[in-house]
Structure formats: structure tokens, C-alpha cells
């Protein structure tokens, strides 16, 4: 009986039932081992330690793990005191949340771009192709409401920049093909072929610009401070008209000096089209452009009336030499002969 009391007196039990002992630890393990059935190992008694190698009991607190760092638990009261300040924990939590939010936004944006590439742009690209290559006599069935719906979704999903870049790239590639075809045209057909290309392009813009009006209003006008039609007209000027202007202008001047060599409607369409693309081109041939567009020349002044009359006489002589008679002069009034 006294031996058992001696052994038990060396086993120390704290309020958390952590059995720790110095010299009596071996006796307790032997006693427990003797009570464990054969084939099972006795549980190991471990005293939690704190930095420095001292048992936690000696300092009156126990270590407890925490996501924000290690905490000390008071052995008597069970209260916790954190080694890491609450500010550090909040900063760590905020950093982790920011990282998760950034990753989520990146994944959402990637999914949205992939959806645009797979579902929205292919349908728009097909419609643009059909509008660009249509002939004036063709009647192509295109759902403008559907195209407008795709454009609306793209703008609302913050894909305006992508959409406008794809649109201009698509039209630029088409105009480069048109320019290549015009290069193969013989000189006698260049004016007519250029007129067909320009007329067809203008007709396409009358369909493309309205269905992209949402993109034009909320991106091109508001952010780029430009206009979609002006930008698309500039594409034709850069990639088609400017490349053929050096050949086209002499042909137009020659055709203007020889009436009806080219249909007047074709001449008017080409000259007015060039002026709409770049008004400064009128200065390359003022006489040509002034025949189809008013106010190309400066306003008339009284001091130059003799020059104007001389110009009219020369024009009448050129018309007479080219087979255009002045008409029946027998019915002139007698006062005009004097």
C-alpha cells in the first residue's frame, strides 16, 4: 500500500490532465504496460514543450496551433494569448482573399474571352463577310436583329476593344484583296472597276454601321473620340484609293477631256467618292473636281470676269472640235448679231 502511494505521489496531474513526471514516469509506464493486453503497445506519454526545451507545465501555459500563428493556452484559465498580432492576421487574411479574388477574376475574364471567340465573333464574322462581298443585285438574308444582339452582348461584357479590333482587321483584309484585284485591271477598265469597288463598299457600310451602332456610341465615340463610318472610310482610302490614285487620276483627267469616253454617271461617282475620302485630293485636278463638286474653286470676283468668259469660249471650241455642234443659230434674235 505504501509503495503504491509512493508511486502515485510522483505522478503529477495538471488541470488539463497532462500527466508529467520526472523520476516516476518509468513506474507509471510499467504499470500501464502491465495492464495492456498482449500484442498491443502502451500509449506513449508525452509532455508538451515550449521553445527552450522546458515542459509547458513549468511555464503554466500550453502551445496550441493556429492558422495565424502559434498561441499559448493558459493551463489554469484556458485563455489564449496570440503571439501574432491581430493586425498581422488581418493582413494575411486580406492578402489571401486578394489572391483568390484576382485568380477568380482572371479565370472569369479568360472564360468570357473564350466565349467571345467561340460563340460571338464567328457569327459576326460570317455576317460581315456576307455584307462585304454582296453584289448590288443580290438579296442576302441577314438577321440584323441577331447581329445587333451579338454586338450588344460583346459591349456589355467589356469586349468592345476586342470586337473593334476584329472588325477593322476583317475589313482591312477584305480591302487588301480588293486592291490586289484592281492592280490586275487593264487601264481602260480601271475607272469602271474602281467605281464598282467603291460603290459596293459604301453599300456595305450602310448595313454594317447601323448594326454596330452600340459599339460606335459606347466605345468609339465615347472612348476613342472618333466615328465608326469615318474610320472605315479611312480604311478604304488607305488600302485601296491611295494605292491606285497615281494611275487613276490621269485616266480621269483624260476621260473628262473626252466627253462620253466614260459614262457621266461613273465619272461623277468616282470623282465624288474620291472627294468624300479625302477632300484635299481635289487640289490635284481642280478643273476635274469642279465639274462635279461645287465650290472647289474660289468664289467668283468681278475683276476676273474676262477670264471666266475666255474659259467658256475655250470650252465651247473644244466641244465643237469633238463633234458637238452649237445647234441651230438661225433662230437667234437680231439684236444678238449686232
In a domain, 316, yes or no: no
The domain spanning residue 277 has which CATH number? 1.20.1310.10
Domain extent, residue 252, equals: 112-299
Inter-residue contact 253 to 189 (CB < 8 Å)? no
What sign for the dihedral angle of Cα 259, 257, 198, 220?
A: negative
HSE of 258, CA atoms in CB hemisphere, 13 A: 7
In a domain, 330, yes or no: no
In a domain, 254, yes or no: yes
In a domain, 310, yes or no: no
Domain count, the chain: 2
- pLDDT of 128 strictly over 90: yes
Q: What is the pLDDT of residues 284-336, one digit of tens each?
A: 999 899 989 988 877 777 888 888 888 888 878 887 887 767 665 555 555 55
Q: How confident is the model at residue 268 (pLDDT cuts 50, 70, 90)?
A: very high
> Residue 52: exposed, middle, or buried by beta-carbon count in 10 A (0-12, 13-18, 19+)?
exposed
Q: What is the pLDDT of residues 131-160, one digit of tens each?
A: 998 765 565 667 888 999 999 999 998 999
- Same domain as 181, residue 123: yes
Can you tell me the distance from the alpha carbon of 183 to that of 174, in angstroms, rounded to the nearest whole number?
15
Beta bridge partners of 82: 71
Instruction: State the helix-helix crossing angle for 160-183 and 242-257, rounded to 10 degrees.
Output: 50
pTM for the predicted model, two decimal places: 0.60
- Same domain as 125, residue 35: no
- Same domain as 210, residue 134: yes
In a domain, 278, yes or no: yes
- Same domain as 268, residue 130: yes
- Same domain as 22, residue 158: no
Can you tell me the distance from the alpha carbon of 253 to that of 287, in angstroms, rounded to the nearest whole number?
9
Report which of residues 112 and 52 the model is more confident about: 112
Beta bridge partners of 61: 74
- Same domain as 142, residue 65: no
Q: What is the pLDDT of residues 184-209, one digit of tens each?
A: 999 999 999 999 999 999 999 999 99
- Same domain as 43, residue 128: no
In a domain, 314, yes or no: no
Q: Kindly state the helix (H) or strand (E) to which residue 129 belongs, with its residue range.
A: helix 121-132
**How many of the other CB atoms lie within 10 Å of CB of 266?**
16
- Same domain as 294, residue 212: yes
In a domain, 37, yes or no: yes
- Same domain as 136, residue 66: no
In a domain, 312, yes or no: no
- Same domain as 70, residue 125: no
- Same domain as 182, residue 229: yes
- Same domain as 278, residue 160: yes
Amino acid at each position: 500500500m505504501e509503495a503504491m502511494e509512493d508511486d502515485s505521489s510522483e505522478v503529477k496531474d495538471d488541470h488539463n490532465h497532462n500527466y508529467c513526471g520526472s523520476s516516476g514516469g518509468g513506474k507509471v509506464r510499467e504499470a500501464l504496460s502491465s495492464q495492456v493486453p498482449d500484442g498491443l503497445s502502451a500509449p506513449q506519454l508525452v509532455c508538451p514543450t515550449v521553445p527552450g526545451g522546458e515542459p509547458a507545465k513549468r511555464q503554466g501555459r500550453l502551445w496550441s496551433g493556429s492558422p495565424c500563428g502559434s498561441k499559448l493556452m493558459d493551463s489554469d484559465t484556458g485563455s489564449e494569448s496570440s503571439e501574432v498580432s491581430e493586425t498581422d492576421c488581418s493582413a494575411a487574411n486580406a492578402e489571401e482573399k486578394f489572391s483568390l479574388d484576382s485568380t477568380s477574376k482572371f479565370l472569369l475574364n479568360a472564360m468570357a474571352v473564350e466565349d467571345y471567340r467561340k460563340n460571338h465573333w464567328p457569327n459576326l464574322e460570317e455576317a460581315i463577310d456576307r455584307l462585304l462581298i454582296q453584289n448590288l443585285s443580290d438579296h442576302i438574308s441577314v438577321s440584323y436583329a441577331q447581329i445587333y444582339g451579338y454586338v450588344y452582348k460583346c459591349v456589355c461584357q467589356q469586349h468592345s476593344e476586342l470586337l473593334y479590333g476584329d472588325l477593322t482587321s476583317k475589313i482591312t483584309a477584305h480591302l487588301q484583296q480588293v486592291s490586289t484585284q484592281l492592280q490586275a485591271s487593264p487601264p481602260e477598265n480601271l475607272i469602271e472597276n474602281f467605281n464598282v469597288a467603291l460603290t459596293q463598299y459604301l453599300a456595305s457600310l450602310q448595313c454594317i454601321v447601323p448594326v454596330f451602332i452600340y459599339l460606335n456610341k459606347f466605345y468609339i465615340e465615347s472612348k476613342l473620340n472618333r466615328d465608326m463610318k469615318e474610320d472605315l472610310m479611312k480604311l478604304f482610302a488607305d488600302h485601296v484609293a491611295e494605292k491606285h490614285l497615281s494611275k487613276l487620276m490621269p485616266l480621269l483627267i483624260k476621260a473628262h477631256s473626252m466627253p462620253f469616253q466614260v459614262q457621266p454617271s461613273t465619272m461623277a461617282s468616282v470623282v465624288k467618292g474620291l472627294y468624300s475620302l479625302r477632300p484635299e485630293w481635289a487640289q490635284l485636278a481642280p478643273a476635274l473636281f469642279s465639274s462635279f463638286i461645287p465650290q472647289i474653286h474660289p468664289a467668283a470676283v468681278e475683276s476676273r470676269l474676262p477670264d471666266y468668259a475666255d474659259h467658256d469660249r475655250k470650252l465651247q471650241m473644244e466641244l465643237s472640235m469633238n463633234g458637238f455642234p452649237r445647234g441651230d443659230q438661225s433662230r437667234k434674235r437680231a439684236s444678238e448679231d449686232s
